Amino acid sequence: MIDGYPLVSIIIPVYNCEKYIHKCIHTVMLQSWPSIQLIVVNDGSTDRSGDIINSLAAKHNNITIINQINQGVAAARNKGVSHAKGEYLLFIDGDDYISRDYVEKLTLQAIAEEAELVICGYTLVRQGGLPYRIVSPVHHQKGDEAWAYRICAAGSRLYRKDFWDRYELKFLNEKNARGEDVPLSLFANAMAANIAIIRDSGYYYVQHEGSAMHAYKGFRKYHFPYRTVAALLNKVKDMPLTNRREWFNFGILKFFAQFVFALSGGAPLKEIRRLCSYIDNMVAKYFAEAWQELRRLYSDKPAVPLAHKWSIYIMLVLLRLRMLTVIIWLCSRRPVTGRYKKGNRRRQ
């Protein structure tokens, strides 16, 4: 704590981000919040990222550098958390950046509402710096937790460190999995005693061609985080949740539907069968009351986009008709458009 300002630990995992890491760190160093610990985890970069990080650290005494052999983004984030000394935690990817008052807004909101989790929006930015989509959450309340489940990336969130420690939260490292940060976000949504929302989009996701997916490459390099989601569902099945279980279940079903309908383009039949079989087994085991739960949630007219509602409904209908695999196989022949930048991104 500096002059009464709670310390915020910011963790940046870095792997071959030489084009972006300087701006990322620079925006952290320019923050209006005066009490910051920046932890940069160099996850075995083979480009100039390490040199850039070292140069910046030589100019700032609040940057901690951790070098490790390449273990993946989940392990890098966990390593950063193990060195965190702050009352709050923030995560930023090495090719993204934040607005000057980003940390201040989230931290003040956490203090004002005694929140264990604060969620904000984000801005999608093209590589040249042009913003092209802004997502700004509206509210969070017991009857409508939708926004917490619409923004589930590691970024755009601030956690109280004691909440993180109490539940021994960790990112699970699953080789070649996409979206491995989402299960942790879903668990946090379910267990945080107070969740605050701010109408701000000061986290900037940079979209660049070097990491975009290309046509007919669905699931060839990345796959669904099977092990991570299974571990989460097993963990919470008999656990009393702080917030409504129906919303947690909605978040899982939405995650399933996103992979089925948005990310399967061009996937080989073997991978589609694997995904659909997995979802079928998980729904049968953990979501026997899915239809009734969704009706109860939607009866309150929450802030759930129509596309999200229908994608879940259609997925459940196709599962019931035993047609999910064949329909997704036919639909997956369309090219992947490259709208998603990275495997660990979870969009609105």
Higher-pLDDT residue of 180 and 229 is 229
Asked if 86 and 6 count as a contact pair (C-beta separation under 8 A), the reply is: yes
Residue 302 pLDDT = 85
**Alpha-carbon distance values, 250 to 186, 244, 294, 298 (Å):** 10, 10, 7, 11
As a whole number of angstroms, the distance between CA 175 and CA 195 comes to 31
Which residue carries 């701010």 as its tokens?
198
Residue 41 pLDDT = 98
As a whole number of angstroms, the distance between CA 152 and CA 107 comes to 19
Q: What are the residues whose beta carbons fall under 8 Å from the beta carbon of 200, sequence distance 6 or more?
A: 99, 102, 105, 120, 121, 136
As a whole number of angstroms, the distance between CA 10 and CA 51 comes to 20
Question: Average pLDDT of the chain?
Answer: 89
How confident is the model over 101-155, as pLDDT tens digits?
999 999 999 999 999 999 999 999 987 777 788 888 888 877 789 999 999 999 9
Residue 340 pLDDT = 43
Residue 334 pLDDT = 58
pLDDT above 50: residue 345 = no
Residue 266 pLDDT = 77
How confident is the model over 266-312, as pLDDT tens digits?
788 888 999 999 999 999 999 999 999 999 988 888 889 999 999 99
**Token pair for 321:** 């008709």
CA angle 5-8-13, nearest 5°?
160
Can you state the angle between helices 245-262 and 226-236, rounded to 10 degrees?
Answer: 170
Residue 209 pLDDT = 63
- Burial per residue of 190-199, b for 16 or more beta-carbon CB atoms within 10 angstroms, e otherwise: bbbeebbbbe
Q: What are 125's strand-pairing partners? A: 131, 206
Residue 263 pLDDT = 81
Asked if 116 and 194 count as a contact pair (C-beta separation under 8 A), the reply is: yes
Which residue carries 């390593």 as its tokens?
79
Higher-pLDDT residue of 214 and 321 is 321
Q: What are 287's strand-pairing partners? A: none
As a whole number of angstroms, the distance between CA 52 and CA 17 comes to 10
Burial environment of residue 268 by CB neighbours within 10 A (0 to 12, 13 to 18, 19 or more): middle
As a whole number of angstroms, the distance between CA 320 and CA 338 comes to 31
pLDDT above 80: residue 219 = no
How confident is the model over 18-56, as pLDDT tens digits?
999 999 999 999 999 999 999 999 999 999 999 999 999
**Token pair for 200:** 């701000």
pTM: 0.91
